[in-house]
Structure 1
Amino acid sequence: MDSELKNLYARAFDTPAGKCFSIIVLGPDGDRNGFDVTVFHARSMRTYIGKGLRAPTRWIKPELWMPLALRALASELQPEGVNFNFDPDTGALSWTWPAREVGMSAGAQQAVMLQRLKDGDAGPLEDMLSTVWESCYRLLVSCRQLDVQLQRQTDSLSRTQRELQDCTDKHKSLVQELHIK
């Protein structure tokens, strides 16, 4: 994995306000005490950012806030039972964990406030997205190369199968001739 991508996570999630696409960047050297988030809200076509997000001081179980936040936002698949909400007017992103996941009698809600990206603020975002798109392009090229290799192998196996079938047919024919004589 590219060192630039080691602490970078991308995912989509549905909210009542529409689909959101997020990019999460962990702090320096994978620091799990803070993260940056970029959210693109598809319906409004707006981008929101949050820098250096950390656990709020008054959360129910402060030691669980960061691991849960990263699990909700930076895992490949959306955790089961976690519901996301996003308000494009305020930039409030929240998600609610079911009680069984947080070991409490009631579910727990986590939230972060994001700022709408304004003109001229796109420098860091462009750098981050260029890394993502370059990696996606490399993955696409690799997949196409793999597809070509698999097609060659499929063609080769098909030829071998036909040759084996021809040999089998000839062998059966010879066995029948010998059996008749």
Structure 2
Amino acid sequence: MMKNNWILGILIVSLPIANLVSAAETNSDEFEKQRAPHIQEKEKNITSEPKEEHRGIISPTYQLFDMQFSSWNANHLHWDAPTNMAIQSDGSWFIYAKKLANMRRTGGAFDTGDRWTTLINVTFYTGPLNGQKQCTGSVIHSRDYELMTLDYKEESYNVTARGSDSEIARAASNIKCGSFSRIWR
């Protein structure tokens, strides 16, 4: 009687392991993608010229950019709209996102994942947009602006970040174009 209970116990414990192996074998591409190393995800660049209507107003500070982003899902890393980034001529900046979520499983057969940081990379140029909607001229300044870091299976709503960048304040009058990219790193 003891021998049968012991064998039954082994079968119960072994069954989930057998299921994991067969799942990995039947969907090997997805399994390999989950085991892939921590690779940065970068959205394609969005470009814009500064808001000219605010220049010359009596106030010493004016809004350079107010970028609106659509929803973006990079392999289970969710960045939901509305999302925007506002940059002022004095170097102050503000980022808002309705929802961020890290659901990317990287542990293979195990339910684990990496920690990811959300950033917006902005590169400022001396020239305007060309016909292909690309910034021209020399790079004045480039920086990653951090929004938030999320652990695996973490979600956050109405996320904001703000700060100041003295390089923007110094170069505001020469900035003619900006290139914006959201990044998961």
Structure with larger Rg: 1
TM superposition score normalised by structure 2: 0.22
**Quick one: higher RCO (CA 8 Å, sep 6+), 1 or 2?**
2
Q: In proportion to residue count, which structure has more helix? A: 1
Q: In proportion to residue count, which structure has more strand? A: 2
